[in-house]
Amino acid sequence: MQYAILLKQGEIVLKGQNRRAFEARLEANVRRAVLPFGAFDVYSKQSVVYVTPQAGADAPGAFEACRDVFGIVSLSLCAVCGKDMDEIYETARQYLEKELTAAKSFKVEARRADKAFPKTSIEISQDIGGRLSDEFPHLAVDVHNPELTVKVEIREEAAFLHGNPALGAGGLPVGSSGRAALLLSGGIDSPVAGYLAAKRGLSVFPLHFFSYPYTSNDAKEKVLSLARRLTRFGLEGRAAIVPFTRVQEAIAKGAPDELGTILTRRFMSKIAEAFCGKFHLEALITGENLGQVASQTLQSLAVTAQNIALPVLRPLICYDKREITEIARKIGTFEISSLPYEDCCTVFTPQRPATKPKLERVLAAEKKLPFDELVAEAVSAIEVITFS
Ligand code: ATP
Ligand code: MG
C-alpha cells in the first residue's frame, strides 16, 4: 500500500502576517519527528501539511510520531492510488475495511483538486458511496452526522483516501513562542509542566539540580530518561545538570532550618537565570502548584523568584494532583517519575519549613551565606548532556 500523511494545522491558521513563519516552524518540527522513519517530502498547502514518503520510508511509523507534534489539530494516514474510479473504490474497500465494518453509518466526501478529472466531486461521492453500500449492506448512508466519513481527494499526482482523522496534539509549533529552561526534578509535576510549555510553542531546555552523593546516580539517570522521554514532544534533545551539593550543604549548615526550602529555591532561581543568559533562554518553567507543599504558598512563591527578573511560568499552578497525574500517564512520564530515587530537595527537606517566609528574614539569612560565590561556582560547573 502507498501512503501519505495529512496534518491539519491548528491555531496557526488564525495567525496573520507571520503565519508563514509558524508554518515553516511546524514543517521543520515534522521533518525532525519523521526523520527516524526514512525520507519524506514535507510541504504545506491550504492549512494542511503533506508528508509523503519516498521509497522505503515507514509511513505508518511516521504517522504515529506525528501524533505528538504540537501545532496539529487532526491527522490522517491516507492510502494513495491511481486516479481511476475502479482503483479508488478497490483501495477504499481494502484500506478502510475495518472502519466500514465497525461503523453503522457513513458517507463519502470527495474533493477534486485536479479539475481535469472527468467526474465532479458529487459524482465521485455517489459512485464510491454506492459501491461501498452494496459491499457493506449494514451501513446506512447519513450525510449529516455519519459515524464514518470516507474522504477521497483527487490531486494532480494521485488519489488520496482516508477515514475519520485522529486527534492531533494541538497547541503551537515548538519554538514559535521562544525558548525557556525547565526546572526538571525527578517528580511527577515538572515533566508535565515541560510538556504543557512545549505545547504552547516553547522550545524547552531541561535543567536539573543534582546533589551527589546525597542523591544517587540513579536519580540523575531517572531525570535524564524523563528529559529523553519528553523529546518526542519537541523538547530540546539535551539536559543540563547543575552540581548542587555545595549549595545544599551551605544552607544546611549556615541557615535556619525552617528557611532551608525557600533558600534552596532562591539559589535555584538565580542559577537558572544565569543559565538562561548563557543559552539565550527567556523564561523559567517550574512544576509548582498552589498549596501543594510548604514552598508553594503564595508567600513562598513571591519570595522564591523575587531575586530574578526573568518571567517564571508555572503551567500547573491551578491543576489538581489528579489532573497532573492523568497527563503524566498520557505522556509516558508517570512510570519514570514513580521510580523510587530521592530528589535533592527531599533529602534536605526541613522538619518544619516556613509556609509564610518573610522576605526580610530570608534576605538576612541569605546574607550570612556566600550566595554569589556559590551561584557562580555552580553555574561554571553546569554540565550539558546531549542525547543522540
Ligand atoms: P515535582 O513533582 O516536579 O518534583 P513537587 O510537587 O515535588 O514538584 P517541589 O519538590 O517543591 O514540588 O519542586 C517544585 C518545583 O521546583 C519542581 O516542579 C521543579 O520545577 C523544581 N525543582 C525541584 N527540585 C528540583 C531539582 N532537583 N532540579 C530541578 N528543578 C527542581
Ligand atoms: Mg519534587
pLDDT of residue 89: 98
Name residues with Cβ closer than 5 Å to ligand 2, which is an ion.
185, 187, 343
Q: Measuring from atom 25 of ligand 1, which residue has the nearest CA?
A: 185
Q: How far is the CA of 343 from the centre of ligand 2 (A)?
A: 6
Task: Look at the block and give the residue holding cell 504517522.
Answer: 63
Nearest atom within ligand 1 for CA of residue 191: 3
Query: d(Cα 275, Cα 121) in Å, to the nearest integer?
Result: 57
Residue type, 93: R
Q: Which ligand sits nearest to residue 349's alpha carbon?
A: 1
Where in the chain is CATH 3.40.50.620?
Answer: 179-386
pLDDT below 70 — which residues of the chain?
344-345
Q: Which ligand sits nearest to residue 261's alpha carbon?
A: 1
pLDDT of residue 293: 78
Specify the CATH architecture of the domain 2-169: 2-Layer Sandwich (3.30)
Q: How far is the CA of 324 from the centre of ligand 1 (A)?
A: 14
pLDDT of residue 344: 67
pLDDT of residue 139: 96
**Cell numbers found for residue 59:** 509511513
Whether the Cβ atoms of residue 262 and residue 354 lie closer than 8 Å to each other: yes
Query: d(Cα 52, Cα 225) in Å, to the nearest integer?
Result: 31
Residue type, 23: E
Omega before residue 53 within 30° of 0, cis:
no
Nearest atom within ligand 1 for CA of residue 182: 20
275 pocket-lining for ligand 1 (C-beta < 6 Å): no
Where in the chain is CATH 3.30.2130.30?
Answer: 2-169
Strand partners, 112: 154
189 pocket-lining for ligand 1 (C-beta < 6 Å): yes
Q: State how far the alpha carbon of 70 is from the alpha carbons of 162, 183, 241, 314, in Å.
A: 22, 21, 27, 19
Whether the Cβ atoms of residue 93 and residue 99 lie closer than 8 Å to each other: no
192 pocket-lining for ligand 1 (C-beta < 6 Å): no
pLDDT of residue 345: 65
Say how many Å lie between the first and final Cα of the chain, rounded: 32
183 pocket-lining for ligand 1 (C-beta < 6 Å): yes
Q: How far is the CA of 361 from the centre of ligand 1 (A)?
A: 23
Q: How far is the CA of 185 from the centre of ligand 1 (A)?
A: 5
Among 242, 229, 264, which residue's Cα sits nearest to residue 338?
229
Whether the Cβ atoms of residue 332 and residue 194 lie closer than 8 Å to each other: no
Phi/psi region, residue 370 (left: phi>0; alpha: psi -120 to 50; beta: rest), is: beta
- Sign for the CA dihedral angle at 338, 340, 341, 346 comes to positive
pLDDT of residue 68: 97
pLDDT of residue 295: 75
Q: Which CATH superfamily is domain 179-386 in?
A: HUPs (3.40.50.620)
Q: How far is the CA of 343 from the centre of ligand 1 (A)?
A: 8
* φ, ψ of residue 210 in degrees (nearest 5): -125, 125
State pTM to two decimals. Answer: 0.93
Query: d(Cα 231, Cα 194) in Å, to the nearest integer?
Result: 10
**Cell numbers found for residue 349:** 527537606
76 pocket-lining for ligand 1 (C-beta < 6 Å): no
Query: d(Cα 190, Cα 181) in Å, to the nearest integer?
Result: 11
Pocket test for ligand 1, best of 183, 300, 318, 327 (most atoms within 8 A of CB): 183
